[in-house]
Amino acid sequence: MRETRGDYGGGVASEPQQLPAVHEAWLPREHALHRPRHGGRQLTALISALLFFTTPALLWVFGVRPGEIENHKLASFPGLDKGWGFFTDMPAWAIDQLSFRPGAIAAADAISRGVFGEGAPLDQPPPQQQAGPIPAPPAPTPSKTAPTQGPTPNAASGYRRVVQGRDGWLYYGYDADAKCDPSRPLPETIDKINELRQAVEQSGRRFEFVVAPDKSTMVPQFLPDTYPGKDCSRSAESGTWHWMLKDARAIDLRPELRASEGRVQRPIYPSNDTHWSDEGALVMTRAIANAIKPGVTQTWVSVPMGQYDAVADLPPLISKQGTKTNTLYSLRPDGIVDRAGETNGDIDRPVYRTASPLIGTVDEKVLIYGDSFTKASSRYLSGAFTNLTMLAHFTQKTSQAEAVDAFVNANVVILEAVERSVAGGQLAFIDPGFLAAVKKALAEHPIR
């Protein structure tokens, strides 16, 4: 014990002796701060973490590469410049780099079906996840957020990203969500569409509005007996079409789509994709051409040219992979010359197609301002018009000024949108700022 000069009258006082610092596990069991070690559990956790984070790197070294099985790019290795973000981003990278993840997901789905009689709920992302097969715009009014790559069903309300139907059929969940929980009332959406129509027609241009039906509308027979939003969406469907046809004066593709289905004796929407197949693309192409120039398609000849496979858009939303098989057709407007072009993989920027006039073609400057159904139909649209511009109205790659210029440079404006986007009010071209810019530009550049 060390002695020091005290503070009271110069006497001698002693400092209390300090206990050495020890780990709480070394304290007597009776001590209030005693905490036992969990050496075995800690070691197991450390080994598991080490295997989880190093396995992807080791597999990469030996040439094993993971594939993209969901609707997003694989997470990249986090950089040290992110600070603490290096640690928070590491799990996402490790999960995406697990090459055996597709097998694990398939096993989980098989177990779920074998034990519970239904597939594993792989299509229920957290509400902030943004994914979807149908590109669509951010909603102009903020009652619901629409992601960049397409609307995501409202997870908080129980809607599914993918509705799994009978015989392996898949449907996009937003078909139901849009009608049950729209971002804006349908009459308001139609009023805005008619405002755009009026601006185009007052400038001396032609305007047509065409709606691509949802797969659930055209092929309902494979829908399950129950699914979130079934009752309200099915009851709202007839009213939605009534108002789109009556008040928005939309071109009704449904009768011809059913007739085409009867001719090929099968549904013309693939079982695992939300878009129509080439038969549907030809139906819309004919309908648009006849709307602009009645009877122009009487000389058209289209015959099957073989089949092709493409990536299906719905399986990735439930962490799977899948392909669809479509039939390829020719398009001979005059009955002789095949004018069918290549399918455009991207209409986020204006796509221009020109050709010499031919019997059966529409010789007008046409703008088709559409969505992914326009893209899926681009092979045949390119063959029907001699001066065609195709542009997506949901794109973020084209500025508002460029989109407005596309309207100004056209003599005929075709507005195309899928049923669910109209029903849900998820349409970028009804944004007040865009409407004002289009109206101003068209008024300044009439074509009378």
Residues 73 and 186 in one domain: no
pLDDT at 343: 83
pTM of the shown model: 0.71
Whether 176 and 305 share a structural domain: yes
Q: Per-residue confidence at 185, pLDDT binned at 50, 70, 90?
A: very high
Q: Does some domain include residue 338? A: yes
Do 65 and 186 belong together in one domain? no
Q: Whole-angstrom Cα distance, residue 194 to residue 247?
A: 8
Task: Please give the C-alpha separations between residue 211 and each of 104, 224, 404, 437, in angstroms, as whole numbers.
Answer: 40, 25, 21, 24
Q: Are residues 177 and 318 in the same domain?
A: yes
To the nearest whole percent, how much of the chain has pLDDT over 70?
65
**Percentage of the chain exceeding pLDDT 90:** 61
Is residue 404 one of the residues assigned to a domain? yes
End-of-domain residue from the set 92, 122, 152: 122
Q: How far is CA 160 from the centre of its chain?
A: 13
- Which of 21-25, 61-65, 133-137, 243-247 has the largest mean confidence? 243-247
Q: Which of these three, 91, 122, 153, is where a domain ends? A: 122
**Structural domain contains residue 134:** no
Identify whether 18 is part of a domain: no
Which residues sit opposite 438 in a β-bridge?
A: none
Which pLDDT belongs to residue 121? 53
Q: Give the pLDDT score at 421.
A: 96
Q: 397: how many CB neighbours lie within 10 A of its CB?
A: 10
Q: What single letter denotes the amino acid at residue 168? A: G
State whether 54 and 187 are in the same domain.
no
pLDDT of the residue at 98: 57
Could you give the CA distance from residue 431 to residue 120 in angstroms, rounded to a whole number? 39
Same domain, 334 and 434: yes
Range of the structural domain that residue 56 is part of: 50-122
Q: How far apart are CA 134 and CA 358, in angstroms?
A: 34
Is residue 321 assigned to a domain?
yes
Predicted pLDDT of residue 137:
37
> Residues 176, 270: one domain?
yes
Return d(Cα 268, Cα 279) in angstroms, integer: 6
Please indicate, yes or no, whether residues 264 and 365 belong to a single structural domain of this protein.
yes
The 10s digit of each residue's pLDDT in 275-294 is 999 999 999 999 999 999 99
Name the DSSP letter for residue 359.
Answer: T
How many angstroms separate the CA atoms of 364 and 386, rounded?
Answer: 7
Specify if 369 maps to a domain. yes
CA angle 217, 116, 104 (to 5 degrees): 90
| Strand-strand pairing, 351-354 and 162-164 | unpaired
- Please indicate, yes or no, if residue 381 is contained in any of the structural domains: yes
Q: Are residues 329 and 430 in the same domain?
A: yes
Question: Which of 98, 122, 146 finishes a domain?
Answer: 122
Whether 278 is covered by a domain: the verdict is yes
Alpha-carbon distances of 448 from 202, 382, 405, 415, 439, rounded to whole Å: 9, 27, 18, 21, 16
Give the mean model confidence (pLDDT) for residues 419-429. 95
**Mean pLDDT, the chain, integer:** 81
Given a cut of 50, whether residue 1 has pLDDT beyond it is: no
Whether 169 contacts 271, CB under 8 Å: yes
The confidence score (pLDDT) of residue 306 equals 95
Question: Within this chain, do residues 227 and 337 fall inside the same structural domain, yes or no?
Answer: yes
Q: What domain count does the chain have?
A: 2
| Beta strand spans in 6-61 (E) | 12-14
Tell me the per-residue pLDDT of 333-352, one tens digit each, with 9 for 90 and over.
999 999 998 887 789 999 99
How far apart CA 448 and CA 440 sit, in angstroms, is: 16
Q: Which of 361, 367, 354 is nearest to 413 (CA)?
A: 367
Asked if 266 and 364 sit in the same domain, the reply is yes
Tell me which of 30-39, 185-194, 243-252, 358-367 is least confident: 30-39
CA distance 67 to 73: 9
Report CA torsion sign: 58, 64, 70, 71. Answer: positive
pLDDT of residue 159: 74
Do 243 and 321 belong together in one domain?
yes
Structure letter (DSSP) for residue 422 = H
Confidence band for 130, pLDDT divided at 50, 70 and 90: very low
